[in-house]
Structures are given as C-alpha cells and as structure tokens.
Amino acid sequence: MTDVTTAVLPKGFEALQPFTETWGKLFTQDERYLFRQQSSMEELKAYYDIAAPRLDAVFDHLEKFPMGGLPEPEALLYRTVLGLTEVAMAIEVFNQPRVPYAPFPHKIDIEWGERK
C-alpha cells in the first residue's frame, strides 16, 4: 500500500490533492464519521466546495476500473471522495460537524440484513 502523503491522484484531479492527507487516509465509514465530528465547518466547507462539483468526473473516471482492483491513484481518489458521504450531511443538513443533540464523540453501527 502506498503512503498517502506521497501518493498522487490521477491526472485531472489535482485540486483534490490537499485532501488526500486527511480524507484519503480514512479507510472505513467509522473513521470518516468521527473525522467529520472533529473537523471545523471551515475545513468541511473547503473540502465540500472542491470535491462536490467534481463528483461526476470522479465517478466517470472510476467506472473505467474494476472495483476490486483499483490502482493506487484511483483507490486514493475513491477514498478521498468518500468523505463527501459524511461532509454533505454537515453542510447540507446539520449546518455543523456533529449530529445535533447527540453526545460527542459517538459512533453509529450499520448492519445489513433482511427485515423480519
């Protein structure tokens, strides 16, 4: 695995490079969720403003590769933009990094299964 501090994103996504050292190093939903809670709105907004408009281009690029075997530049791009799953909630819904009226820090466990 490549060190994200030296990894480079695919050509055309250079604007996202500053966020690889934060969002790109997070491998799980729990890590992204907790990182959002610890970030400032200024940090989240700066990331959102750069990443959100590029999301279609990111998906168009990543669709060229098999999901199970992304080359490291594409894997880094994927991890970096996955942060939008958390940041969009803070920017578009909560207007703050944390879930309103929830204790800090907290985490959420998502389980998949059939309904009974």
Query: Residue 41: inside a domain, yes or no?
Result: yes
Residue 22: CB partners within 8 Å, gap ≥ 6? 35, 47, 83
User: What pLDDT is stored for residue 67 in this prediction?
Assistant: 77
Which stretches within 15-116 are classed as H helix? 29-38, 41-51, 55-62, 72-82, 84-88
User: What pLDDT is stored for residue 30 in this prediction?
Assistant: 87
Structural domains of the chain, count: 1
Contact 83, 32 (CB under 8 A): yes
Nearest to 4, CA basis, from 13, 14, 18, 91? 18
Report the chain (116 residues): mean pLDDT per 10 consecutive residues.
Answer: 67 95 92 90 96 96 89 95 92 81 64 73
Query: Residue 1: inside a domain, yes or no?
Result: no
Query: Residue 42: inside a domain, yes or no?
Result: yes
Q: Please give the residue range of the domain that contains residue 75.
A: 14-94
Rounded distance between C-alpha atoms, residue 59 and residue 107, angstroms = 28
Query: Residue 34: inside a domain, yes or no?
Result: yes
pTM: 0.79
